[in-house]
A = this chain, B = another copy of it.
Amino acid sequence: MTNIGIGILGGGYMGKAHAVAMSSVGAIFNTGLRPTLEMVCASSAQSAEGYRRAYGFQRATDNWRELVNDPKIQAVIIATPQQTHRDIALAAFALGKPVFCEKPLGANMDDSLVMTTAAEASGIVNMVGFNYIRTPASQYARQLIASGEIGDITWFRGEHTEDFYADPEAPASWRTSGASNGTMGDLAPHMINAALALIGPVARVMAEIETVHHERPGGSVTNDDHAQMMCRFENGTMGQFYFSRIATGRKMGYAYEITGTKGAIRFDQEDQNALWLYRMDGPEAKRGFTKILTGPAHPDYEPFCQGPGHGTGYQDQIIIEARDFLKAIETGQSIWPTFRDGHEVNCVVDAAMASAQSGAWQDISKLQAQESIK
Protein backbone atom coordinates (compact mmCIF):
# COMPACT_ATOMS: atom_id res chain seq x y z
CA MET A 1 0.00 0.00 0.00
CA THR A 2 1.16 3.46 -0.89
CA ASN A 3 -0.08 6.80 0.33
CA ILE A 4 -1.34 9.39 -2.11
CA GLY A 5 -1.84 13.06 -1.31
CA ILE A 6 -5.31 14.33 -2.18
CA GLY A 7 -6.34 17.92 -2.75
CA ILE A 8 -9.98 18.87 -2.86
CA LEU A 9 -11.27 22.11 -4.31
CA GLY A 10 -14.52 23.07 -2.65
CA GLY A 11 -15.62 22.10 0.82
CA GLY A 12 -19.40 22.33 0.56
CA TYR A 13 -21.92 19.63 -0.35
CA MET A 14 -19.76 17.61 -2.74
CA GLY A 15 -16.40 18.62 -1.28
CA LYS A 16 -17.43 17.14 2.05
CA ALA A 17 -18.73 14.01 0.36
CA HIS A 18 -15.38 13.45 -1.34
CA ALA A 19 -13.43 14.18 1.84
CA VAL A 20 -15.47 11.59 3.70
CA ALA A 21 -15.08 9.13 0.83
CA MET A 22 -11.33 9.51 0.81
CA SER A 23 -11.27 8.93 4.58
CA SER A 24 -13.04 5.60 4.42
CA VAL A 25 -12.47 4.15 0.95
CA GLY A 26 -9.22 2.43 1.98
CA ALA A 27 -10.79 0.48 4.82
CA ILE A 28 -13.89 -0.43 2.82
CA PHE A 29 -12.25 -1.58 -0.41
CA ASN A 30 -8.75 -2.39 0.87
CA THR A 31 -7.37 -0.16 -1.85
CA GLY A 32 -3.79 -0.27 -3.05
CA LEU A 33 -3.42 3.49 -2.79
CA ARG A 34 -4.31 5.06 0.55
CA PRO A 35 -5.39 8.70 0.46
CA THR A 36 -3.98 11.40 2.68
CA LEU A 37 -6.13 14.54 2.94
CA GLU A 38 -3.38 17.04 2.11
CA MET A 39 -5.13 20.27 1.32
CA VAL A 40 -8.58 21.77 0.88
CA CYS A 41 -9.33 24.94 -1.04
CA ALA A 42 -12.33 27.20 -0.51
CA SER A 43 -13.39 30.68 -1.56
CA SER A 44 -12.06 32.27 1.60
CA ALA A 45 -9.24 31.45 3.94
CA GLN A 46 -11.68 31.29 6.81
CA SER A 47 -14.01 28.80 5.25
CA ALA A 48 -11.05 26.77 3.99
CA GLU A 49 -9.70 26.55 7.51
CA GLY A 50 -13.12 25.51 8.74
CA TYR A 51 -13.24 22.70 6.21
CA ARG A 52 -9.69 21.68 7.08
CA ARG A 53 -10.54 21.22 10.72
CA ALA A 54 -13.88 19.60 10.09
CA TYR A 55 -12.73 17.06 7.52
CA GLY A 56 -9.23 16.49 8.81
CA PHE A 57 -7.05 17.99 6.04
CA GLN A 58 -3.43 18.85 6.73
CA ARG A 59 -3.60 22.28 5.15
CA ALA A 60 -6.07 24.81 3.77
CA THR A 61 -5.95 27.53 1.13
CA ASP A 62 -8.15 29.99 -0.69
CA ASN A 63 -5.94 29.86 -3.80
CA TRP A 64 -6.69 26.97 -6.10
CA ARG A 65 -3.40 27.32 -7.91
CA GLU A 66 -1.54 26.85 -4.66
CA LEU A 67 -3.35 23.59 -4.15
CA VAL A 68 -2.84 22.33 -7.67
CA ASN A 69 0.81 23.26 -7.66
CA ASP A 70 1.62 21.87 -4.24
CA PRO A 71 4.10 19.01 -4.61
CA LYS A 72 2.36 16.88 -1.99
CA ILE A 73 -0.88 17.01 -3.95
CA GLN A 74 -0.80 13.96 -6.19
CA ALA A 75 -4.43 13.98 -7.30
CA VAL A 76 -7.05 16.69 -7.56
CA ILE A 77 -10.78 16.57 -6.90
CA ILE A 78 -12.80 19.46 -8.33
CA ALA A 79 -15.99 20.22 -6.41
CA THR A 80 -16.25 23.93 -7.13
CA PRO A 81 -18.86 25.75 -9.27
CA GLN A 82 -19.03 24.66 -12.93
CA GLN A 83 -17.43 27.74 -14.40
CA THR A 84 -14.20 27.07 -12.50
CA HIS A 85 -13.77 23.48 -13.63
CA ARG A 86 -11.94 24.24 -16.85
CA ASP A 87 -9.00 26.24 -15.59
CA ILE A 88 -8.36 23.98 -12.65
CA ALA A 89 -8.44 20.83 -14.73
CA LEU A 90 -6.14 22.23 -17.39
CA ALA A 91 -3.64 23.32 -14.76
CA ALA A 92 -3.66 19.90 -13.14
CA PHE A 93 -3.19 18.04 -16.41
CA ALA A 94 -0.32 20.38 -17.26
CA LEU A 95 1.36 19.18 -14.08
CA GLY A 96 0.55 15.55 -14.83
CA LYS A 97 -1.89 15.25 -11.92
CA PRO A 98 -4.97 13.02 -12.13
CA VAL A 99 -8.27 14.89 -11.95
CA PHE A 100 -11.68 13.90 -10.67
CA CYS A 101 -14.21 16.55 -11.70
CA GLU A 102 -17.74 16.88 -10.45
CA LYS A 103 -20.52 16.99 -13.02
CA PRO A 104 -21.33 18.81 -15.15
CA LEU A 105 -17.85 18.66 -16.60
CA GLY A 106 -17.71 22.41 -17.33
CA ALA A 107 -20.05 25.34 -17.59
CA ASN A 108 -20.95 24.37 -21.14
CA MET A 109 -20.03 22.19 -24.10
CA ASP A 110 -17.11 24.38 -25.10
CA ASP A 111 -15.57 23.94 -21.69
CA SER A 112 -16.09 20.23 -21.64
CA LEU A 113 -14.63 19.86 -25.11
CA VAL A 114 -11.49 21.72 -24.14
CA MET A 115 -11.22 19.76 -20.91
CA THR A 116 -11.70 16.45 -22.70
CA THR A 117 -9.16 17.39 -25.35
CA ALA A 118 -6.67 18.31 -22.66
CA ALA A 119 -7.30 15.17 -20.70
CA GLU A 120 -6.88 12.91 -23.71
CA ALA A 121 -3.86 14.79 -25.02
CA SER A 122 -2.15 14.57 -21.67
CA GLY A 123 -2.90 10.90 -21.12
CA ILE A 124 -3.46 11.69 -17.45
CA VAL A 125 -6.13 9.84 -15.51
CA ASN A 126 -9.43 11.70 -15.54
CA MET A 127 -12.90 10.95 -14.21
CA VAL A 128 -16.23 12.75 -13.91
CA GLY A 129 -18.57 12.49 -10.94
CA PHE A 130 -21.81 10.80 -11.93
CA ASN A 131 -22.49 9.17 -8.60
CA TYR A 132 -26.04 7.89 -8.97
CA ILE A 133 -25.13 5.38 -11.63
CA ARG A 134 -22.77 3.85 -9.03
CA THR A 135 -25.40 2.16 -6.88
CA PRO A 136 -25.24 -1.63 -6.87
CA ALA A 137 -28.74 -1.61 -8.38
CA SER A 138 -27.90 0.58 -11.36
CA GLN A 139 -24.61 -1.18 -11.94
CA TYR A 140 -26.54 -4.44 -12.00
CA ALA A 141 -29.08 -2.96 -14.40
CA ARG A 142 -26.23 -2.20 -16.77
CA GLN A 143 -25.02 -5.78 -16.51
CA LEU A 144 -28.49 -7.21 -17.11
CA ILE A 145 -28.96 -5.15 -20.25
CA ALA A 146 -25.48 -5.83 -21.56
CA SER A 147 -25.95 -9.56 -21.09
CA GLY A 148 -29.19 -9.54 -23.08
CA GLU A 149 -31.30 -10.46 -20.08
CA ILE A 150 -34.18 -8.30 -21.23
CA GLY A 151 -33.60 -8.79 -24.96
CA ASP A 152 -33.44 -5.99 -27.48
CA ILE A 153 -34.28 -2.65 -25.95
CA THR A 154 -37.40 -1.00 -27.36
CA TRP A 155 -38.01 1.83 -24.94
CA PHE A 156 -36.27 4.00 -22.37
CA ARG A 157 -37.85 6.52 -20.05
CA GLY A 158 -35.76 8.47 -17.57
CA GLU A 159 -36.31 11.33 -15.21
CA HIS A 160 -34.37 13.35 -12.70
CA THR A 161 -36.90 15.17 -10.60
CA GLU A 162 -36.60 16.98 -7.30
CA ASP A 163 -38.76 19.61 -5.64
CA PHE A 164 -36.35 22.02 -4.00
CA TYR A 165 -37.84 24.85 -6.07
CA ALA A 166 -41.43 23.59 -6.22
CA ASP A 167 -42.62 26.28 -3.85
CA PRO A 168 -43.13 29.45 -5.91
CA GLU A 169 -42.23 31.39 -2.78
CA ALA A 170 -38.81 29.80 -2.41
CA PRO A 171 -36.40 32.71 -2.81
CA ALA A 172 -34.05 33.32 -5.71
CA SER A 173 -30.42 32.25 -5.19
CA TRP A 174 -27.30 31.40 -7.17
CA ARG A 175 -29.31 28.42 -8.38
CA THR A 176 -31.82 30.61 -10.23
CA SER A 177 -29.42 32.15 -12.72
CA GLY A 178 -26.91 30.69 -15.13
CA ALA A 179 -27.78 27.94 -17.58
CA SER A 180 -25.44 25.49 -15.87
CA ASN A 181 -27.35 25.94 -12.60
CA GLY A 182 -30.75 25.34 -14.13
CA THR A 183 -32.49 22.00 -14.34
CA MET A 184 -31.11 21.16 -17.76
CA GLY A 185 -27.58 22.11 -16.76
CA ASP A 186 -27.49 20.75 -13.25
CA LEU A 187 -29.95 17.83 -12.87
CA ALA A 188 -30.35 16.50 -16.41
CA PRO A 189 -26.71 15.40 -16.77
CA HIS A 190 -27.17 12.62 -14.21
CA MET A 191 -30.03 10.95 -16.07
CA ILE A 192 -28.52 11.57 -19.51
CA ASN A 193 -25.38 9.86 -18.25
CA ALA A 194 -27.55 6.97 -17.08
CA ALA A 195 -29.24 6.71 -20.46
CA LEU A 196 -25.90 6.64 -22.27
CA ALA A 197 -24.59 4.01 -19.87
CA LEU A 198 -27.67 1.82 -20.01
CA ILE A 199 -28.73 2.14 -23.66
CA GLY A 200 -25.89 3.79 -25.60
CA PRO A 201 -25.25 6.99 -27.57
CA VAL A 202 -28.09 9.36 -28.41
CA ALA A 203 -28.53 10.35 -32.06
CA ARG A 204 -31.03 13.19 -31.83
CA VAL A 205 -33.33 14.97 -29.44
CA MET A 206 -36.46 17.08 -29.39
CA ALA A 207 -36.81 19.14 -26.23
CA GLU A 208 -38.86 21.71 -24.39
CA ILE A 209 -37.16 23.74 -21.68
CA GLU A 210 -39.19 26.07 -19.50
CA THR A 211 -39.03 28.51 -16.66
CA VAL A 212 -42.35 28.21 -14.83
CA HIS A 213 -41.77 30.72 -12.05
CA HIS A 214 -40.12 33.78 -13.54
CA GLU A 215 -40.13 35.81 -10.38
CA ARG A 216 -39.21 34.67 -6.92
CA PRO A 217 -38.73 36.61 -3.69
CA GLY A 218 -35.36 38.26 -4.06
CA GLY A 219 -35.16 38.41 -7.81
CA SER A 220 -35.93 37.18 -11.28
CA VAL A 221 -35.23 33.64 -12.41
CA THR A 222 -33.16 33.39 -15.54
CA ASN A 223 -32.71 29.66 -15.92
CA ASP A 224 -35.03 26.70 -16.38
CA ASP A 225 -37.33 25.00 -13.85
CA HIS A 226 -38.09 21.90 -15.86
CA ALA A 227 -37.60 20.31 -19.25
CA GLN A 228 -38.80 17.38 -21.28
CA MET A 229 -37.16 15.58 -24.15
CA MET A 230 -37.88 12.90 -26.69
CA CYS A 231 -34.87 11.15 -28.15
CA ARG A 232 -33.70 8.52 -30.57
CA PHE A 233 -30.71 6.46 -29.53
CA GLU A 234 -28.16 5.47 -32.14
CA ASN A 235 -29.25 1.84 -31.83
CA GLY A 236 -32.75 2.90 -32.85
CA THR A 237 -34.38 2.86 -29.42
CA MET A 238 -36.99 5.51 -28.72
CA GLY A 239 -36.55 7.44 -25.48
CA GLN A 240 -38.26 9.99 -23.27
CA PHE A 241 -36.96 12.23 -20.48
CA TYR A 242 -38.18 14.63 -17.86
CA PHE A 243 -36.10 16.84 -15.63
CA SER A 244 -37.45 19.10 -12.94
CA ARG A 245 -36.59 21.03 -9.82
CA ILE A 246 -40.25 21.87 -9.25
CA ALA A 247 -41.57 18.30 -9.12
CA THR A 248 -43.59 18.71 -5.94
CA GLY A 249 -43.20 15.63 -3.75
CA ARG A 250 -40.21 14.22 -5.58
CA LYS A 251 -37.08 14.24 -3.46
CA MET A 252 -34.59 12.18 -5.47
CA GLY A 253 -36.54 11.18 -8.57
CA TYR A 254 -33.66 9.67 -10.50
CA ALA A 255 -35.77 6.98 -12.08
CA TYR A 256 -35.80 4.93 -15.25
CA GLU A 257 -37.92 2.32 -16.99
CA ILE A 258 -36.39 0.18 -19.70
CA THR A 259 -38.38 -2.16 -21.91
CA GLY A 260 -36.88 -4.98 -23.91
CA THR A 261 -38.24 -7.80 -26.03
CA LYS A 262 -37.61 -10.34 -23.26
CA GLY A 263 -38.07 -8.31 -20.12
CA ALA A 264 -38.07 -4.94 -18.45
CA ILE A 265 -36.27 -3.04 -15.70
CA ARG A 266 -37.55 -0.32 -13.39
CA PHE A 267 -35.57 1.71 -10.90
CA ASP A 268 -36.19 4.67 -8.64
CA GLN A 269 -33.37 6.23 -6.63
CA GLU A 270 -35.78 7.01 -3.79
CA ASP A 271 -35.62 3.28 -3.08
CA GLN A 272 -32.07 2.85 -4.28
CA ASN A 273 -31.59 -0.62 -2.82
CA ALA A 274 -34.22 -2.23 -5.03
CA LEU A 275 -34.19 -3.06 -8.72
CA TRP A 276 -37.38 -4.29 -10.40
CA LEU A 277 -36.91 -6.92 -13.08
CA TYR A 278 -39.54 -8.52 -15.29
CA ARG A 279 -38.65 -11.51 -17.41
CA MET A 280 -40.88 -12.87 -20.14
CA ASP A 281 -40.33 -16.53 -19.34
CA GLY A 282 -41.92 -19.27 -17.31
CA PRO A 283 -45.67 -19.68 -16.96
CA GLU A 284 -47.73 -16.53 -17.44
CA ALA A 285 -49.34 -17.08 -14.03
CA LYS A 286 -46.02 -16.57 -12.25
CA ARG A 287 -44.80 -13.57 -14.18
CA GLY A 288 -44.46 -10.15 -12.68
CA PHE A 289 -41.90 -7.57 -11.70
CA THR A 290 -39.47 -9.00 -9.17
CA LYS A 291 -38.29 -6.61 -6.50
CA ILE A 292 -34.63 -7.49 -6.16
CA LEU A 293 -33.01 -6.15 -3.01
CA THR A 294 -29.35 -5.45 -3.56
CA GLY A 295 -26.85 -7.57 -1.70
CA PRO A 296 -23.47 -9.23 -1.95
CA ALA A 297 -24.55 -10.81 -5.24
CA HIS A 298 -24.57 -7.37 -6.86
CA PRO A 299 -21.68 -5.10 -7.94
CA ASP A 300 -19.77 -3.21 -5.23
CA TYR A 301 -22.21 -4.12 -2.44
CA GLU A 302 -20.30 -6.64 -0.31
CA PRO A 303 -17.47 -4.35 0.81
CA PHE A 304 -20.13 -2.24 2.53
CA CYS A 305 -22.02 -5.09 4.15
CA GLN A 306 -22.16 -8.85 3.97
CA GLY A 307 -25.92 -8.94 4.52
CA PRO A 308 -28.28 -8.53 1.58
CA GLY A 309 -31.02 -5.95 1.97
CA HIS A 310 -29.05 -4.06 4.62
CA GLY A 311 -28.66 -1.21 2.19
CA THR A 312 -26.18 1.31 0.89
CA GLY A 313 -26.78 5.04 0.76
CA TYR A 314 -25.79 8.26 -0.92
CA GLN A 315 -22.34 8.55 0.66
CA ASP A 316 -21.48 5.02 -0.45
CA GLN A 317 -21.85 6.06 -4.08
CA ILE A 318 -19.10 8.61 -3.59
CA ILE A 319 -16.92 6.00 -1.94
CA ILE A 320 -17.30 3.75 -4.98
CA GLU A 321 -16.19 6.66 -7.16
CA ALA A 322 -13.17 7.14 -4.91
CA ARG A 323 -12.25 3.48 -5.24
CA ASP A 324 -12.30 3.74 -9.03
CA PHE A 325 -10.37 6.99 -9.07
CA LEU A 326 -7.64 5.49 -6.87
CA LYS A 327 -7.54 2.34 -8.97
CA ALA A 328 -7.27 4.38 -12.15
CA ILE A 329 -4.35 6.30 -10.69
CA GLU A 330 -2.71 3.10 -9.52
CA THR A 331 -2.92 1.48 -12.93
CA GLY A 332 -2.60 4.61 -15.03
CA GLN A 333 -5.77 3.67 -16.90
CA SER A 334 -8.79 5.93 -16.72
CA ILE A 335 -12.00 4.24 -15.65
CA TRP A 336 -15.51 5.03 -16.85
CA PRO A 337 -16.91 7.68 -16.72
CA THR A 338 -14.06 9.78 -18.08
CA PHE A 339 -14.07 13.39 -19.22
CA ARG A 340 -15.03 12.05 -22.64
CA ASP A 341 -18.17 10.58 -21.09
CA GLY A 342 -18.91 13.84 -19.31
CA HIS A 343 -18.47 15.69 -22.57
CA GLU A 344 -20.90 13.40 -24.36
CA VAL A 345 -23.49 14.21 -21.72
CA ASN A 346 -22.87 17.90 -22.31
CA CYS A 347 -23.34 17.38 -26.04
CA VAL A 348 -26.82 16.03 -25.38
CA VAL A 349 -27.62 18.91 -23.05
CA ASP A 350 -26.41 21.35 -25.67
CA ALA A 351 -28.49 19.69 -28.39
CA ALA A 352 -31.55 19.80 -26.15
CA MET A 353 -31.08 23.51 -25.64
CA ALA A 354 -30.76 24.04 -29.39
CA SER A 355 -33.87 21.95 -30.01
CA ALA A 356 -35.87 23.85 -27.44
CA GLN A 357 -34.96 27.08 -29.17
CA SER A 358 -35.70 25.89 -32.69
CA GLY A 359 -38.71 23.74 -31.84
CA ALA A 360 -37.27 21.05 -34.08
CA TRP A 361 -35.33 17.81 -33.77
CA GLN A 362 -31.61 18.34 -33.22
CA ASP A 363 -28.86 15.90 -34.06
CA ILE A 364 -26.18 15.42 -31.44
CA SER A 365 -23.09 17.34 -32.39
CA LYS A 366 -20.77 14.89 -30.76
CA LEU A 367 -19.26 13.59 -34.00
CA GLN A 368 -18.33 17.09 -35.04
CA ALA A 369 -16.98 17.64 -31.60
CA GLN A 370 -14.79 14.62 -31.95
CA GLU A 371 -13.56 15.92 -35.27
CA SER A 372 -12.55 19.22 -33.78
CA ILE A 373 -10.67 17.41 -31.05
CA LYS A 374 -8.54 15.62 -33.60
Q: Which residues of A contact B (CB under 8 A)?
A: 1, 13, 16-17, 19-20, 23-24, 26-28, 30, 34, 53-56, 140, 150, 154-155, 157, 162, 164, 166-168, 206, 208, 210, 212, 225-226, 228, 230, 232, 238, 240, 242, 244, 246-253, 259-264, 269-274, 277-280, 283-293, 295, 297-298, 304-316, 359-361
Q: When the two chains form their complex, are residues A244 and B270 in contact, meaning their CB atoms are under 8 A apart?
A: no
Known: A1-B53, A154-B226, A305-B314. A270 touches B273 (CB 8 A): yes
Partner of A292, one of B150, B253, B287: B287
Partner of A307, one of B251, B260, B277, B310: B251
> What is the CA–CA distance of A306 and B162 in the complex, to the nearest angstrom?
13
Using CB atoms, name the residue of chain B closest to A306.
B13
Query: Copy number of this protein in the oligomer?
Result: 4
> What is the CA–CA distance of A168 and B240 in the complex, to the nearest angstrom?
22
Q: Residues of B contacting A208 with CB < 8 Å? A: 230, 232, 238
Q: Residues of B contacting A280 with CB < 8 Å? A: 166-167, 248-249
Q: When the two chains form their complex, are residues A315 and B305 in contact, meaning their CB atoms are under 8 A apart?
A: yes
Q: When the two chains form their complex, are residues A288 and B291 in contact, meaning their CB atoms are under 8 A apart?
A: yes
Partner of A293, one of B30, B264, B283, B288: B288
Sort A-B residue pairs by CB-CB distance and give the 4 closest, nearest first: A251-B309, A249-B278, A313-B313, A252-B309
Q: Residues of B contacting A314 with CB < 8 Å? A: 304-305, 307, 310-313
Q: When the two chains form their complex, are residues A212 and B24 in contact, meaning their CB atoms are under 8 A apart?
A: no
Known interface pairs A249-B289, A313-B313; 13 further A-B residue pairs with C-beta atoms within 8 A, sorted by A's residue number? A28-B315, A30-B54, A150-B248, A166-B280, A240-B242, A250-B309, A272-B311, A273-B313, A279-B286, A305-B315, A313-B314, A313-B315, A313-B316
Known: A16-B27, A206-B206, A240-B242. A264 touches B285 (CB 8 A): no
Partner of A289, one of B212, B291, B360: B291
